[in-house]
Amino acid sequence: MSIDFMPAAEPIARLIEEFNKLPGIGPKSAQRLAYHLLQAPAEKAEALAEAITAIKEKLSLCSICLNITDSDPCIICRDGERDPSKICVVEEPIDILPLERTRKHAGLYHVLHGVIAPADGIGPEELKIKELLSRLDGGLVTEVILATNPNLEGEATAMYLQRLIAPLDIRVTRLARGLPFGGDLEYADDVTLSRALEGRQEM
Amino acid sequence: MTVPRVYQTEAIIIKRTKLGEADRILTLYTPDLGKLKAVAKGTRRPKSKLGGHVELLTHSLLMLARGRNLDIITQAQTINSFSPLKDDLERISCGLYVSELVDSFTAERIENRRLFNLLLETLHQLSQAKNGELALRYFELHLLDHLGYRPQLQRCASCGSPLQPVTNLFSSGQGGVLCHECGYQEPIARSLSLNALKVLRLWQNCDYATANRVNTNSELSLELEQVMREYIRYLLERQVKSTDWLDKLKKETHQK
């Protein structure tokens, strides 16, 4: 979809067009961003340009956990304070952030970079599962926490991983599924509610 | 007459793609409107009130508001979540295959109530099935039937002569079984054993309860799977993507 921004001067039209390609940014927001930068001090614009080039030039995947990192191994894998016997498996690098905010997981991570989605042609080969299994080889890992999303594909992926890991004599756990804090029972669906009941705890 | 701005429908969710920050586009299969795409806002947030009610392979009652482009789901209530299906990897995989088939074979907003009922019944069957294969074959046969691709199994699809009780040929191009004379002239026909023909004939004309009584050994199931797969591939002019995953799962369970 190419919209003609020609009434604006060529460089600004180009910038609008580039902004417009970003997710969630329509033609109007793109224009506003572009004209905002035009009026902003040169350092601000340069800082943004530099930040954008840096993510492409300096970032790569951690050779251990496959998280996005600017140094290899990444800061989490490098951190001697963390417990290397527990690995928490997530779908995407972005999923590490909320888990880290809880400060409840002191172990390491492993990023799958996707989930099994048969109808999109994504099977285990397309995910970083081989890399996970080779990390489990050393005998150092005692627990794998499956933190894929609580939806059908995430569940399927977790079940599949459980099958692969179970014979290795490693404890496999799954994040609990139940009611979100601050929510209303009224809106809970059957699957969530029944799992919340099954997983109820002594008070 | 003006079209109402909001409407209510039952639906089975057969596909889901991400949209924007927290939204999803759902592909629904409904009894009166056939296949339908709609937006479910905020469903990727944990506290979404739609959340689990619009999960894949769920039968729900939905309230939709007409949108400029896609309709928007405003309320959802689960009718059946098929949770026994969702607790088992093989069953989930069969369910995803079934929904991919429905999605591939249908166009939007063309009513096909028989297909809706078949899909619903198949999800029920898969929730109980020990072996999903049988349900899948039954589903495939009847899906083709409801779409106008019912394979001709009673007589030769080419010359119309009665079939001999021997190994005959199945031709995807002719959409059915061929007698030996016609089969030789057909370059891409495959052999079809008498047992396979009998099973297909029975399944084509019975309900799930009767179909479930058929015992097939692994050789026969494989033959049935291949015949149906080739025919479907011929009709869609491409492979169904989920079959790779089904094959992989099956192979890995056999290795154990």
A123 with B248: Cβ contact below 8 A = yes
| B chain contacts of residue A194, beta-carbon cutoff 8 Å | 83
Tally of CB atoms within 10 A around B251: 9
A191 with B93: Cβ contact below 8 A = no
Q: What percent of chain B has pLDDT over 70?
A: 99
Distance from CA of A81 to the nearest CA of B (A): 31
Per-residue pLDDT at A4: 55
Per-residue pLDDT at A1: 44
Query: pLDDT of chain B along its 256 residues, tens only?
Result: 567 899 999 999 999 998 877 899 999 999 999 999 999 999 988 888 888 899 999 999 999 999 888 999 999 999 999 989 999 999 999 999 999 999 999 999 999 999 999 999 999 999 998 778 999 999 999 999 999 999 999 999 999 999 999 999 999 999 999 998 888 888 888 999 999 999 999 999 999 989 988 888 989 999 999 999 999 999 999 999 999 999 999 998 877 6
Axis crossing angle, helix A129-136 with helix A152-165, rounded to the nearest 10: 40
Q: Where are the domains of chain B?
A: 6-81, 84-255
CB contact at 8 A, B178 and B169 = yes
Distances (CA, A) of B203 to B76, B141, B190: 35, 8, 20
Q: Which residues of chain A have pLDDT under 70?
A: 1-7
Q: With an 8 Å Cβ cutoff, is A182 touching chain B?
A: yes
Distance from CA of B203 to the nearest CA of A (A): 26
Per-residue pLDDT at A57: 87
Best mutation target among B242, B250, B255 (most A Cβ atoms within 10 Å) is B242
Rounded distance, CA B134 to CA B240, Å? 18
B84-255 and B6-81 share a CATH fold: no
For B98, which residue in chain A has the nearest alpha carbon? A119
Please state the φ and ψ torsions of residue A20, each to the nearest 5 degrees.
-60, -25
The DSSP result for A125-190, as a single string, is GGTTHHHHHHHHTTS---EEEE---SSHHHHHHHHHHHHHHGGGT-EEEE----PPTT--GGG--H
**A157 CB contacts (<8 Å, ≥6 apart)?**
A91, A112, A115, A116, A127, A148
Per-residue pLDDT at B110: 94
Q: What are the strands, taking DSSP E only, across A9-67?
A: 60-61
Out of A119, A160, A192, closest to residue B89 by CB? A160
- Interface A-B, measured as beta-carbon pairs within 8 A, has a size of 77
pLDDT digits (tens, 9 = 90+) for A77-129: 999 999 999 999 999 999 999 999 999 999 999 999 999 999 999 999 999 99
| B chain contacts of residue A115, beta-carbon cutoff 8 Å | none
Q: With an 8 Å Cβ cutoff, is A1 touching chain B?
A: no
pTM: 0.87
User: Is ipTM > 0.85 here?
Assistant: yes
Rounded distance, CA A175 to CA B65, Å? 35
Domains of chain A: 10-57 (1.10.8.420), 83-182 (3.40.1360.10)
Distances (CA, A) of B48 to A179, B6, B40, B43: 11, 20, 10, 5
| B chain contacts of residue A102, beta-carbon cutoff 8 Å | none
Across the strands, what pairs with B83? none
Cα dihedral across residues B241, A115, B25, B30: positive or negative: positive
Please state the φ and ψ torsions of residue B74, each to the nearest 5 degrees.
-105, -30
Q: B84-255: what fold?
A: de novo design (two linked rop proteins) (1.20.1440)
pLDDT digits (tens, 9 = 90+) for B39-93: 999 998 888 888 889 999 999 999 999 988 899 999 999 999 998 999 999 999 9
Per-residue pLDDT at A7: 66
**Given 2.40.50.140, 3.40.1400.10, 3.40.50.150, 3.40.30.10, which CATH number is that of B6-81?**
2.40.50.140
